[in-house]
Amino acid sequence: MSELSPLLKQATPVVVDHGEGVYLYDTDGTRHLDFTSGIGVTSTGHCHPKVVAAAQEQIGKIIHAQYTTVMHRPLMELAERLGEVLPSGLDTLFFVNSGSEAVEAALRLARQATGRPNVIAFHGGFHGRTVAAASMTTSGTKFRSGFAPLMAGVHFAPFPYAFHYGWDEATATRFALRELDYVLQSMSSPADTAAMIVEPVLGEGGYVPANAEFMAGLRQRCDDHGILLIVDEVQTGFGRTGKFWGHEHFGVRPDIVITAKGLASGFPLSAIAASRELMSKAWPGSQGGTYGGNAVACAAALATLDVIHEEDLVANAAEQGRRLLDGARAVADKTPAIGDVRGLGLMVGSEFVTPDGEPDGKTSAAAQQLAAKKGLLLLTCGAWGQVVRMIPALVVNGEQIDEALSIWQDVVAEVTA
Ligand code: PMP
């Protein structure tokens, strides 16, 4: 007999039988409103018929057309089609399987292209669990403790997490940029700095949107010093924030974009995009892998692009995101236990605080657990687990948002009573 590792914990007691749209059905036939989307992955909803059909059709043709041995049509077509949605100029792609792998590919590219060793990441960022990605991750010590030494050459500057600092957004942003300058002056000289890596909205770190001034400040410093700006859109990409890419909200131009999660509606697929000029500076042999650009995953990604376009899902994410944010704020207005509600599009977080204003991971965990009992699946995030996040699929409608908010209202009333 063998069994799953005891360390792999589930946030809910649900054992899934099947899924459809924003609903998951467990093995007893109970229906759950899924506002986790498999951590922001099932952008087109569970088992969208078009994605299913595309994957099924592809499975009958070729499953594993190993991309450093042969080339296949879904991969070539996807590389071309992503040009429709990528920022202009980022016109070459390298495909792998997970967010972490893509983060590492971006890091390799940045180091090889600049010949510089260091990277600056931002406090609260999450970039993955593999060692290099974990070395750039500070959303919680659990992701980076106990397996030191981590990768050298990583420095950190603050993210403008205004609520955490107890400041307004402008003050937090000024502080973050000032500290970034201090890092460049005192720890990682520009001549040693290959890249800055940033999430447009801190994901695992607590659902904290960046802002235009902060992102422009990063761009400016990167331009001044020949540093590359890597934008990690693993969680914020593919329409989730109500624009195709999270960074579009801030009018900033990235040098490398990292995408995964929503890209293939649940199939393991990720990519980095950069200009041909930059990508060509990576060293021969530095890009490859056994499973990258899997044919079924690429077919699912092509269908995902079609569905996003045909069903106008980016606009839907913006509209339903506003409804969700407004509703979550209305719930928070009734209790001092939720100190802040924030987000962009269909990434909405409610931060719990103790009566003396400290992060309250206990109440947020209780709320997340009670919501699951009442049929609403949610996740927590933040360094203390103090933020409950809502990440429904982009196909969510107003009625489903209202259903979730009504459960959320009851949950919050009960756990704070
Ligand atoms: N970057 C970000 C912003 C993420 O949210 C995640 C996953 N939560 C990753 C990287 C890592 O992706 P994966 O789990 O697929 O390795």
Token pair recorded at residue 41 = 């992955």
pLDDT tens for 259-316 read 999 999 999 999 999 999 999 999 999 999 999 999 999 999 999 999 999 999 999 9
Q: Is 161 left (phi over 0), alpha (psi -120 to 50) or beta?
A: beta
Please report the pLDDT score of residue 298 as a whole number. Answer: 98
CA pair distance 17, 298, nearest whole angstrom: 25
Please report the pLDDT score of residue 204 as a whole number. Answer: 98
Q: How far is CA 166 from CA 118, 161, 216, in A?
A: 31, 9, 23
Share above pLDDT 90 across residues of the chain, in percent, rounded to a whole number: 100
Partner residues linked to 16 by β-bridges: 26
Which residue, judged by its Cα, is nearest atom 1 of ligand 1? 127
**Ligand 1 pocket mutation pick from 235, 258, 381 by most atoms within 8 angstroms of CB:** 235
Partner residues linked to 319 by β-bridges: none
Q: Is 126 in the pocket of ligand 1 (CB under 6 A)?
A: yes
CA pair distance 355, 93, nearest whole angstrom: 49
Ligand 1 centre to CA of 235 (Å) is 7
**Ligand 1 pocket mutation pick from 36, 234, 236 by most atoms within 8 angstroms of CB:** 234
Please report the pLDDT score of residue 265 as a whole number. Answer: 98
Please provide residue 106's backbone torsions phi and psi, each rounded to the nearest 5 degrees: -65, -40
CA pair distance 266, 124, nearest whole angstrom: 25
Helix (H) or strand (E) holding 209: strand 208-209
Ligand 1 centre to CA of 137 (Å) is 10
Please report the pLDDT score of residue 274 as a whole number. Answer: 98
The mean of the pLDDT values for the chain is 98
Q: Span 19-24, mean pLDDT? A: 98
pLDDT tens for 151-179 read 999 999 999 999 999 999 999 999 999 99
CA pair distance 348, 325, nearest whole angstrom: 6
CA pair distance 339, 164, nearest whole angstrom: 10
Q: Is 158 in the pocket of ligand 1 (CB under 6 A)?
A: no
pLDDT tens for 334-385 read 999 999 999 999 999 999 999 999 999 999 999 999 999 999 999 999 999 9
Q: Is 263 in the pocket of ligand 1 (CB under 6 A)?
A: no
Closest atom of ligand 1 to 233 CA is 3
Ligand 1 centre to CA of 204 (Å) is 9
pLDDT band at 386 (very low <50, low <70, confident <90, very high): very high
Q: Is 262 in the pocket of ligand 1 (CB under 6 A)?
A: no
Ligand 1 centre to CA of 410 (Å) is 31
pLDDT tens for 229-260 read 999 999 999 999 999 999 999 999 999 999 99
Q: CA Rg, the chain, in Å? A: 21
In contact, 337 and 411? CB cutoff 8 Å: no
Q: Is 39 in the pocket of ligand 1 (CB under 6 A)?
A: yes
pLDDT tens for 30-85 read 999 999 999 999 999 999 999 999 999 999 999 999 999 999 999 999 999 999 99
Ligand 1 centre to CA of 126 (Å) is 7
Q: Span 140-157, mean pLDDT? A: 97
Q: Is 233 in the pocket of ligand 1 (CB under 6 A)?
A: no
Q: Is 33 in the pocket of ligand 1 (CB under 6 A)?
A: no
Domains (ranges, CATH) in the chain?
16-47+312-415 (3.90.1150.10), 51-310 (3.40.640.10)
pLDDT tens for 99-120 read 999 999 999 999 999 999 999 9
Q: Is 40 in the pocket of ligand 1 (CB under 6 A)?
A: no
Ligand 1 centre to CA of 190 (Å) is 27
User: CB within 8 A of 149, min separation 6: which ones?
Assistant: none
pTM of the model: 0.98
In contact, 33 and 403? CB cutoff 8 Å: yes
